Each structure stands twice: as C-alpha cells, then as structure tokens.
Chain A
Amino acid sequence: MVPVPRIERREALHYMGWHGAALDDALLGQMDRAEQQLTENVRPHLIARRFSLRNGCPDGTEYVPGGSDICELLAECHSVILMAATLGEAADRLIRRSMLQGGSQGFILDAAASAMIEAVCNAWENGLRKHVREENGYLTDRFSPGYGDMPLEDGRKICNILETGKKIGLTVSASNIMLPQKSVTALIGISDKIQKHRPAPCEVCSARGTCALAEGRNHR
C-alpha cells in the first residue's frame, strides 16, 4: 500500500469538464467531502519494475511496446520502468453507492478519484525522478496505453509482466478495461540525456477532439 495523496483540486475540476465557471460554496463543500470519503476508504497500491532496454524492448520479457509513439519516447533510453497503480475496489464501490443516491456527489467522487490515482502516480514519479537524478539519469514523460498510437492491449501485457492481479489486485477485463476502474498502467524511460517534455497526454491522445474531458482542459 502507498500513502493516500492529496488531490489537486484543479485536476478534479478538469475531469468534471470545468471551464472556469464560478464555483459556489456548496460545490466546494461537495469536493471536500469527496476527498475525505476517498481518503477514509481507498487503499492505493503501486508496483513498478525496471528493465534494461534491448532493441526498444524490456529485457527479460517478450514484451514489444505497441505503436510508434512509445518507440520515439524511448529512443534515447537505456532502461524502462513498467508501472501499475490502483486505488482499489473501495473507490469503485464508493462511487457506485453515491451515484445510486442521485445528485452530483457520485460524479464529483468519480472525478476526485481520477485526480487521486493521478496524484498517486505523480508522487511516485517525483520520488523516482530524484532517485534517477542521483545516478545522473533523466526520465521521459510517463506514457500509458491508450495515449497516442499505443494500443489498450498493452495494459494487459504490462499487468501480466508485473503480475498485478496477485501483487496489487489489478486485473484487465476481456474488453481491456482495467478493474478496479481507478487504475493506471504506464511506461517511463530512463536516459543519460536530458529528455524534452513531450506534448501533454491530451495532444497525443487518440480520443483527441472527441473526449469530453478535453474541452476546456488546460493543457499542461
């Protein structure tokens, strides 16, 4: 289990499709309650494993990362880290219970939970970045299946390698849906050269132009 992080309020608001409308106290109160409910209930878990890269593939596996975007991202890297994280089933249950009661709290919880799993990954990545800097390495951006041309099927492959079912309780359904739902799989490369910050996930995302989240989102 990893610590439960604080939520970036802006991030949660973006997931709700916020485009700068005035926020009333009632809504802010609902967001506070959502964060509190999540903090009391979720048990986040994260697993990561580092591999040397041989011909663009993690050594010691038969995994060939899918698509050209990831190859480009890892072009200057000597190693890659595969990671998976989840808030656990309690988050899904909490959201479903809240949705049943009607009103907007369930929707707000859903957005807050998305922001929370993102925060779990960010906290881990920040720690990793420091660690890698100590050995004079540089990290690429974190890249997940579904970004750019990387197939969702890669999520299943990453989960198989990391044995996420056994280790953190994360599974992948027949239609490549991660369960529990508030979960992330990703790759992150390590290079000797400084890595440029690539376009934000939205801009390489295959759902670009159609995604409900993208509207009004401040691209990082």
Chain B
Amino acid sequence: MRKQNVTIMDGAMGTMLQSAGLKAGERPEILSITHPELIEEIHRAYIAAGSEMVLTNTFCANAHKLAGQGYSVKEVVTASVGAARRACTGTGTKVLLDIGPVGELLAPIGTLSFDEAYALFKEMLTAGEAAGADGVLFETFSDLAEIRIGILAAKECTALPVFATMTFEADGRTFLGCDAGAAAMTLSGLGVEALGINCSLGPVEALQVLKRMRRYTDLPLILKPNAGLPDPETGLYRLDAAGFAAQMAGFATLGAAYVGGCCGTTPAFIEALCGIAKGKSVSWETGAVRGICSPGRIVEFDGDIHPIGERINPTGKSAFAKTLLDGDTSEAEKRAVTQEEAGAQILDINVGVPGIDEPAMMRAVVMAVSGISMLPLQIDSSNPEALEAGLRAAPGKCLINSVNASEESLKRVLPLAKKYGAAVVGLTLDGRRIPETVEERLVYAKRILDAAVDAGIRREDVAIDCLTMTVSAQQKQAAMTLTALRQLHDEWQVQTVLGVSNISFGLPERQLVTETFLAQALASGLTLPIVNPNQTGIMGTIDAARILLGYDAGCAAYVERHAGAPAPVQEKAAGGTGTIEEAILRGQADTAVQMTRQALQDTAPLVLAETVLMPALDKVGQRYEAKQIFLPQLINAASAAGAAFDEIRAHIAGQGENTEKKGPIILATVEGDIHDIGKNIVKTVLENYGYAVIDLGKDVKPETICERTVQSGARLVGLSALMTTTVPAMERTIRMLHERGINVPTVVGGAVLTEDFARRIGADYYAKDAKASADIARQVIG
C-alpha cells in the first residue's frame, strides 16, 4: 500500500489564451515574450483557484515549431518560466516546465531522428532548468518512443524531477496505437515521479484508461483530462466546472495523486476540483503486474508460456549476415513479421556479425523492427555497448539477453537494465566456468538475483536461463537443466528462459529431440522458451503444453490454431494443368514452382531457365507494355517467375555450382522522403528478374548511398522520390556520387519525375515504372 498527499495542478493554457484573443494557428508560446503580463495573469488565476503546480507556456517551444517566429528557444522558455515564477512568488506553488511533442513523427514511420528529437528536448530542458523550473511535465504525447526520448534527455541533461502524461482515446490507445498499460509499464522503468493521462478525453473516459495504467505501475498517477468530449459541431467542451469536478471523483481510488484539467478547463474548474481533492491524500495497492512490452503489446510474466523468436540472429546464416553488412535491414524486418505471424510473442534481436559496428547495427535493426512488428524485444548481445544501443532505441520495456554471474558482467549489464527500466535474463555461469550440477546453477542464479535487487531491479524482472547443453556431448546435463528449471519455477518462482534447439546439435532428426526436450522443459516450468517459431512442430508442442499445463482455458487457443489444420501436404498430381509459362502468366507461384521441379527431372536447369522461364518473363513484359495486364498482375507474374528461378537456383546449388544473382543493385528512397511504395515494387520486380538488390530503405542520406555503393560494388544505383519537395535530395545524391568519382550508373523514378527532368539532375536513366527498371538493369548489367 502506498499513500501520498494530493497535488492540485492547473487547467488549460490554450483555452485561456483563445478567450483572450489568440488566433487559431498562432504560436501561443511567443506571448510569453510579447505579452508576459497576460501569461502571468493566467498563472495567477490558477494559483488563486488552488493550483499547487502550474505549467509554463512552453508546450511547443521547440526549435522546429519556433522556426521563423523571430525568437530563440532559450528566449521563449526563459520568458515563460519567468512569468510562471513571478506568479508563484510568495506561494508554495511549483513551476513545471511544460513540454509537448515535437510535432513530427519519429523514424522509421516519419523522418525525425532519435538524435534530432533528443537535441530539441535537451535545448528546452536546459533552458528551463537554468530559468528556475522546479520540474518538467512531458504531456499530450501519442508516441511512447518520443516521450521516452524526452525523459532520457531530462534524466541525462538536468536534475529536474520528471512527470509524464500521454493522451489516449477511449479504447485506451493513442493515435499511434500505444496501449495505456504499455505506457505505464515503460514509463515506470524510466525513473519518473508520476505518470498518467492528459487531454483527449473527459474525466469519465480518462478514469477508465487510468485504471489500466494502475495495473502496470506502482507510481502515483496523474489525471488531467479535458472538460468532457468536444461537441463535433462547435468544438466546445461539454462539461461545466461542477460537472467536471463531479466526474473527477474517482481519482482517489486509483491513486491519482496529481489532478488538474486540460483543454476546455479554466480556473473555475480547478476551484471546483479543489473542493473534492485539496488537502486530501490518496492510497493505492502496490504490486503492479510485471512483464515486458512494446508500445502496442504487453507480455505479462504471469506463468504462462511466451515463446521468444530466435530468427533475427545472423550466426550461421551467411546470406542474412550479408544483408546486415550491406546496411540493409529489410531481411531482419521480414523475419520479424514471419515470426510474429507464426506465433512468437517476443523477438530476440542479435546482430553479431564479425566486422560489423554492432552498436550501430543493433540500433538500426531495433528501430526497423519496432516500426514493423508489434512484439516486445529481447536485446541480445555480449557487447554492453550494443546492449545499450538497443535498449536506448527500443520504444518499450525490453528483456536483456543477458547478464551472467561474473562480477564484470553484473557490473556492466545491471546498471543498463536499471537505467532503461528493462528486465534481464540471468545466465547461470560465471564467465569462466559452465556449471555441471543443479546446485551450481542455483548458486549462480542466486548471485544474479541478489545483485539485481541490489542494483535496484525488481526480482520479478529477472528471468533465469539455466543453460541447455548439447545432449549428444553431455548427456547427463539435460536432466540437470530440467531439475534446476523445476526448482527455479516451483520454489524460487522466477521466470525461466532456455534456448532449446542447442540440445539436439549433432544428432539426426534434430527436431524430434528438440521438440521432446521442449515438452519436458515446459513441463518443468520453462516460461520463456527461445525457439524457431517457423517450425510448426515447435509451436505445436507449445500449444499442446499450454493445454496440459492449464494455461489455455477450455483448449480454446489450441482449437483455434489447429482445428481445420490442413492434412499433411500431398504432392499434387504431377505437373498440374497447362505449362510453366501459363502458370507464370497467371501469377500462380505454387504451380510454377511445382512444374519447374517436375521439369528439372529431365531438363538441364540452365536450358529450362533460358528456353522457358526467360521467354515467359519476356511475354509478361510484352503484355504489360501492350496494356493487356496492369501493374499488380505484372508483379504477380514476376513473383511466380522469381519463385521458379529460385527453384532452379536451389537445384544448381544442390549440385555445388555457383548460383549468385546478378548485380547487386542499390535501391533507396532519398533523404526526406518516406514514400517508398514505388521503390518496393521495383525491388520486388528486380529480384524476380534475377537481380540481387540491396535495399537501403527510405529517407536515406546521400552519404550513406555513396558509401554503400562503393562498399557493395554495386553495378546500378536506383533512387526514388515522390514529392517535388524531395526531388532536390535526389539531385544532391547524384551530384555527390559524381563528386566522389563513383562511376556507377544511376536510374531514377517517382511520380513527379520526367525523362527530361531526370537528365537535368544528372541521372543516367529514367524508369517510368518497375518494368522499365528491369529493362534498364538488363541493359546495364545483363
């Protein structure tokens, strides 16, 4: 149980300024300089109404929003804090520096970078602290990643106490899909004083959302809702002061120790609120639910089984490793999506490739995967700098993989878990020695748990990995692992992690051993198995174990996943109907592959490629040019051809021959542009035409494109830009390639480009569509 006195915050600043004549779209922060007496007067009115904490007039006083307004961030922040300070003179009222979102979306969805956002917040924070603010409130955020950056900046650059609120819709999610529970779980770990809700909703709806936050935090909550929902016709808020106060009454039971109002509230609302809240105290039960989360998904450490997908790890996967070395994160993203669809609940991220800048790559992959998948992440590295880079970039609460029982590891990794509010996997070894007995494993486990608690980490945030040994090499160890698991689970009641596939190394029919060991481990209390979720036997074992262990109530999830499961695949009647060419023209990849496999039995692979597949692909191109088919049909046909080519390549590789694709071709959407649909279509078509593509993604700096072109030995560079505003970045990129003497032909495309314009900006080729790109590739590379 925790108890705290209630602090009355203030109401809206914008509403007050609008009634004083502020025009829509005008920057209210400037008024702190031009009309400081007006701002001071509003603060005084709130203090007179009973506010014990007021927010400065600095919501959008960041360098981006103030650009072109004629005043610096420092000037506006200093004037705003000054106005609040003067109003508070002689009262006990505290001044919180108010910081809202930057107003642009962060990468990878938008183009605002982590570092840029950090710098914008830092500038406001240091100015606010210097001007005498007592603390900072980050408010009205929809993006958990963004508010996290602000909090990190506040913690690293100032000594200000930090308060944090986000804005949600009635379903408990922000516009960006962030769940209120995940927000509470993440923000709690970052060392804030209190967290909660502001804006968007009236008190009744906000209290419902706050209830969800309470489940995932032990901290005091903040409740600062609007004056009811706005009327869609007039935009006016519906509640009056008395109605607002009446609806706020539920604050006490949830432990909302900080209360106030947002849009539509005035000093009268705060006065009414004081009537029910001032001088009161609130108390609440502690014991928040533990777990990890992404902004959109929480995995509770509830005893149930939560599989961790292990496929984003380049160890032993040379093709995947090469994409990372090329700076291309698309394969990692693809692996994230396929694992999520296969039922993984957490994604392990490991980017350990010899010769790679591991912290930089960890950061890039974590950001890319967070932008595409909803799943919480496990940051996996033996390099503490890479761990920190991943933790810093990940927008939720992560699991660290891992710390071990050695002094050095505990000293380097646990502070990271504390700082970023992460949970951590403890490996039961001490760096020198791999334990052989159950007792040794438990000694190490205890050492890790004790050290974690000493470092300020909750015991419930530590999961123990008591090591899977290869059974063909150390047969007795399997039983040791299982016994230790049982003890950790039953008696110590901690979360347990195991990478299970190691068990079967060196044995034939590995999956039999792996799946059996997994079943035994799950029965012994394994809760967080690290597995390949793309293997149906693995996920089937987990589904079945969840029934037998009683986690899948009424077998509902099992039935949903397995009822109507297709019977074991039977080879379709050989050849199907028609020819390979027809299958390709119809875009039927499965049929094309099957028929190709059939044909390979009596036709040489290269003959098949040259006499059947290439002519079919040419025919597709002709039909497209003749407008008999249009783009999606072209893509489908090219994909079917691509799948048939892959089959041929696999066949050749099986005979030990070289099967390298032609190229490579660099593709990128230029800096400042995030419309990458055209580039993605070109990529699909080029790959299916047999070219190796290095996809640098969107919003790519000219420097990066130049560097990657040289490093990869690319034969062609493809650039896309959709907007008139981003075509100059395309021109800059081409100019830089020329200036650096990189004589690789360039091809450009995008809705606003023309052949003529492409020439003018120095491009070697203009591709009007994806088909044209493939023609140009053939011309340049062959």
Q: Is the CB of B633 within 8 A of A24?
A: yes
Contact among B104, B175, B636 with A103 in the assembled complex (CB-CB below 8 Å): B636
CB closest chain-A residue, reference B374: A93
Residue-by-residue, is A95-115 near B (CB-CB < 8 Å gives 1, otherwise 0)?
111011111101110100000
Interface residues of A in 16-35 (CB under 8 A from B): 16-22, 24, 26-27, 30
The answer to whether the Cβ of B479 comes within 8 Å of any Cβ in the partner chain is no
Contact among B628, B751, B753 with A21 in the assembled complex (CB-CB below 8 Å): B628
Q: Is the CB of B674 within 8 A of A173?
A: yes
- Which residues of chain B are within 8 angstroms of A173 by Cβ–Cβ distance? 104-105, 110-112, 672, 674
**Complex Cα–Cα for A166 and B752 (A):** 31
Q: Is the CB of A61 within 8 A of B25?
A: yes
**Complex Cα–Cα for A108 and B675 (A):** 15
- Which residues of chain B are within 8 angstroms of A176 by Cβ–Cβ distance? 723, 725
Contact among B103, B199, B677 with A171 in the assembled complex (CB-CB below 8 Å): B103
Known: A89-B176, A95-B677, A179-B110. A18 touches B630 (CB 8 A): yes
CB closest chain-B residue, reference A152: B725
**Complex Cα–Cα for A207 and B587 (A):** 32
Q: Is the CB of B633 within 8 A of A27?
A: yes
The answer to whether the Cβ of B681 comes within 8 Å of any Cβ in the partner chain is yes
Q: Is the CB of A19 within 8 A of B627?
A: yes
Contact among A26, A161, A180 with B25 in the assembled complex (CB-CB below 8 Å): A161
Majority secondary structure of chain A interface residues (helix, strand, loop or mixed): loop
Known: A62-B23, A100-B334, A100-B372. A169 touches B632 (CB 8 A): no
Kindly name the residue among A17, A168, A172, A210 whose own CB sees the greatest number of chain B CB atoms within 10 A. Answer: A210
- Which residues of chain A are within 8 angstroms of B630 by Cβ–Cβ distance? 16-19, 21
**Complex Cα–Cα for A133 and B111 (A):** 42
- Which residues of chain A are within 8 angstroms of B752 by Cβ–Cβ distance? 207, 210-211
Q: Is the CB of A49 within 8 A of B677?
A: no
Q: Is the CB of B111 within 8 A of A26?
A: no
**Complex Cα–Cα for A165 and B175 (A):** 9
Contact among A60, A63, A92, A100 with B330 in the assembled complex (CB-CB below 8 Å): A100
Residue-by-residue, is B17-35 near A (CB-CB < 8 Å gives 1, otherwise 0)?
0000001111000000000
Kindly name the residue among A18, A95, A100, A176 whose own CB sees the greatest number of chain B CB atoms within 10 A. Answer: A100
The answer to whether the Cβ of A206 comes within 8 Å of any Cβ in the partner chain is yes
Known: A21-B627, A100-B372, A103-B635. A174 touches B177 (CB 8 A): no
**Complex Cα–Cα for A110 and B765 (A):** 26
- Which residues of chain B are within 8 angstroms of A180 by Cβ–Cβ distance? 105, 109
The answer to whether the Cβ of B169 comes within 8 Å of any Cβ in the partner chain is yes
Interface residues of B in 77-124 (CB under 8 A from A): 101, 103-105, 109-112
The answer to whether the Cβ of A175 comes within 8 Å of any Cβ in the partner chain is yes
Q: How near does chain B come to A21, taking the closest CB pair, in angstroms?
A: 5
- Which residues of chain A are within 8 angstroms of B112 by Cβ–Cβ distance? 173-174
- Which residues of chain A are within 8 angstroms of B101 by Cβ–Cβ distance? 165
Q: Is the CB of A175 within 8 A of B111?
A: yes
Q: Is the CB of A102 within 8 A of B684?
A: yes
Q: Is the CB of A107 within 8 A of B104?
A: no
**Complex Cα–Cα for A99 and B753 (A):** 23
Q: Is the CB of A107 within 8 A of B631?
A: yes
Residue-by-residue, is B255-299 near A (CB-CB < 8 Å gives 1, otherwise 0)?
000000000000000000000000000000000000000000000
Contact among A1, A17, A157 with B631 in the assembled complex (CB-CB below 8 Å): A17
Q: Is the CB of B633 within 8 A of A177?
A: no
Contact among A152, A168, A172 with B724 in the assembled complex (CB-CB below 8 Å): A152
Q: How near does chain B come to A93, taking the closest CB pair, in angstroms?
A: 7
Residue-by-residue, is B317-361 near A (CB-CB < 8 Å gives 1, otherwise 0)?
000000000000010011001000000000000000000000000
Q: Could you list 7 further interchain pairs (A-B, Cβ under 8 angstroms) beyond the known A21-B628, A45-B175, A212-B769?
A: A17-B769, A21-B630, A62-B25, A97-B372, A103-B639, A152-B723, A166-B199
The chain B residues found within 8 Å of chain A, CB to CB, are 23-26, 64, 101, 103-105, 109-112, 140, 142, 167, 169, 174-177, 199, 235, 330, 333-334, 337, 371-372, 586-588, 627-633, 635-636, 639, 672-677, 680-681, 684, 687, 723-726, 751-754, 768-769
28 contacts between A and B (CB under 8 A): A21-B628, A26-B586, A27-B633, A30-B632, A43-B175, A49-B235, A58-B24, A89-B175, A100-B330, A100-B334, A100-B337, A100-B372, A103-B635, A103-B636, A104-B639, A104-B684, A106-B677, A107-B680, A107-B681, A168-B175, A169-B176, A173-B111, A173-B112, A175-B725, A176-B723, A176-B725, A207-B752, A213-B751
